[in-house]
Amino acid sequence: MYTHLFTPAKLGNMELKNRMIVPAAVTRLAGSDGNTTEGFIRYHEDKARGGWAMLITEDIPILPTCKTYACLPGLWADGQVASHRAFTARIHAAGSKVCAQIYHAGRLAPRALNGAAPKAPSAVGSPFTPETPTELTVEEIGELTAAFAAAARRAKEAGYDAVELHGAHGYLIHQFLSANTNKRSDKYGGSLRGRCRFMTEVVAAVRRAVGEDYPLLVRLSIVDYAPGGLTLSDSRVIARAAQEAGVDAIDCSNGTTEANYAIIPPVEAPRALYVDNAAAIKAVVDVPVIAVGRINEPGLADSVLAAGKADFVAMMRASVADPDLPNKAREGREEEIAHCIGCLQGCLGQNRRLEPFTCMVRPLTGHAHEDEILPAATPKKVLVIGGGVAGCEAAIYAAMRGHKVTLCEKSDRLGGRWIAAAIPPKKAEYNSFLAWQGVMLEKYGVEVKLNCAVTAEQAAQWKPDAIILAAGCADAVPPIPGVDGPQVVKAEDVLLERCEVGKRVVVIGGGLVGAETANYLAQTRKKQVSIVEMLPRIVADGEPSPTLFLKRDLEEYHVAIYTGAKVTEIGADYVRLTQEDKMLTLDADTVVLAAGLRSDKTLENALAALNIPLIAAGDAHDGKNGLKNIREGFLAGIHV
């Protein structure tokens, strides 16, 4: 099975044991001084043990003044080599090759972080940085070329098996390649050949620094998906120029800062959506090509290789969700693979929030050095109340530690509110997490009791050594006249088809739940839908890339949106609201409440009186944040 995926292949003169590569992603786990840390090492080491052929580090700055983020690994000084050598030794011992991705952020290197003004091919500003960069002189371009070569030399000295030049995603090399950011009229600008010159000179300088037999890759954005950006036709020429300059492989990414959603596509985007771009590059070069972009299952990855679209597949988010994916696939344990669901909460979202990298479906990611899962010194009898995703996570990890766990869920199935979250358009992959939890509950012997509501008295009769409470929250009901009418229903009931919905629908609440419910009603049920939201914008609680796709759907399916608005009355067939001191009346056969959740401490207070160790987990005190809920369930399970 997966014969293409597990066939060894060469990248330059380096043989990789299979075709699965972990591409670069910013983790914020390295030290602020550019040295590696235990957290950084463990994050990669878990993947090396998991069977990946090669790991590519996140972007390593070639200078201390060219970073986009803090806490990146660095190779701008010889003194950093020792910590990187310790890192590569651990990765090699765990069974994988490791490649250093080196970069310069150009105009995306903010002064506030780097202490110096950003420099770029041309004085063209970015919407993501407040300062217009200074145009590089020809002399400075030569200095940067030398800095790339010096960083590559250090990478080789540190034991890296290969170096990748980051020429994608709107960073410096990409800025030279794109006519949007390169307005030069000298030999480094103008024609596509001129715009390629910096890249080819860097490749040549790095090649001289590391030698002819050392593997050298370049990562390119094959299509920018931004007006005036690089096209597939451009990138065919660029890839051939890179090969002629001396690279051993083309890593085919996509997107740029103006189309950030294309760099890391969310669940709303098709899977393996860029493989044809990689195939187009493979058709014009003689070096291996790496495909990337929503390739999140081994069967899908194998099919890309079988179709001849690429020579290797890069699976970053898949490796984040389950570092052991290759081993599990090779051993026939596919049902135990935790799949990336494309939510972008723990990876891209944490970077946006300036927090360390993690994963919603694998809370151990980024925390492996802090949260060891160790056998319990004294196995306990543990009662978990609530079978939502937080409760299931707590039960799984408590059982993994050797505790005897009973999980009680008041409804007839596990999953809680997550069941409804998987129903809106393009969200079906969320179900893979519920399926994984079911497999793991069975594997670790958790006793699951459905249709089993637990009171404090019943909990005491079980005589557990510890109780984990993950009983969930109740829907918030805003104090609006008419809110108790028969035509007023909850968003969860709509998504689970528990109620009838009329033709004209008003959704009260434009957060993620309300907007996704409105999208479901308009797109799937063909209803006439309006959203009323008090805040100035809808989906303020969503991640930017998924929200972009969601808003496109709402526009396409003609959902009316009223922001900065407050509902003042719900009638039998209307909803009245105020917006900017104006009173509006909307026709409504059905009104959907999506106004958030509220905590109910009644059961928690009753359990606390039993004098049995009690841990409140996940949605017992915040049902709105999936990342937080699952993380808290996980922590409850390993600390019980």
Residues with catalytic function:
171
Decide: 387 and 416 in contact? Cβ < 8 Å. Answer: yes
Q: Which residues fall within 8 angstroms of residue 65, CB to CB, at 6 or more apart? A: 109, 114, 115, 116
DSSP helix/strand/coil, 147: helix
267 burial class (0-12, 13-18, 19+ CB within 10 angstroms)? Answer: buried
Q: Residue-wise over 456-477: b if at least 16 C-beta within 10 A, else e?
A: beebbeeebebbbbbbbbebee
Helix (H) or strand (E) holding 387: none
Contacts for 79 with CB less than 8 Å, ≥ 6 apart: none
- Residue 210 makes CB contacts below 8 A (sequence gap 6+) with 152, 153, 155, 156, 163, 216
Q: What is the DSSP letter of 172?
A: H
Residue-by-residue DSSP string for 240-251: HHHHHHT-SEEE
Which tokens in the block code for residue 577? 């609201």
Angstrom distance (rounded) from CA 92 to CA 309: 29
Cβ proximity of 640 and 396 under 8 Å:
no
- How open is the CA angle 515-516-519, to the nearest 5 degrees? 90
484 Cβ partners below 8 Å, 6+ apart? none
Strands 312-314 and 381-385: unpaired
Three-state secondary structure call for residue 135: strand
CB 396 within 8 A of CB 380: no
Question: Are β-strands 574-579 and 565-570 bridged in parallel, bridged antiparallel, or unpaired?
Answer: antiparallel
CA distance 607 to 613: 9
Cβ proximity of 70 and 29 under 8 Å? no
Which residues are 448's β-sheet partners?
Answer: 407
- Which whole-number Å values give the CA distances from 203 to 13, 172, 217, 320, in the listed order? 17, 14, 9, 30
- Cα separation, 492 vs 596, whole angstroms: 11
Strands ordered across the beta sheet of 574-579: 565-570, 574-579, 582-587
Q: Which residues of 405-421 are buried (b: 16+ CB within 10 A; e: fewer)?
A: bbbbbeeeebbbbbbbb
* Strands (DSSP E) found in 363-509: 381-385, 404-408, 447-449, 466-469, 474-475, 488-490, 504-508
| Type of residue at 90 | R
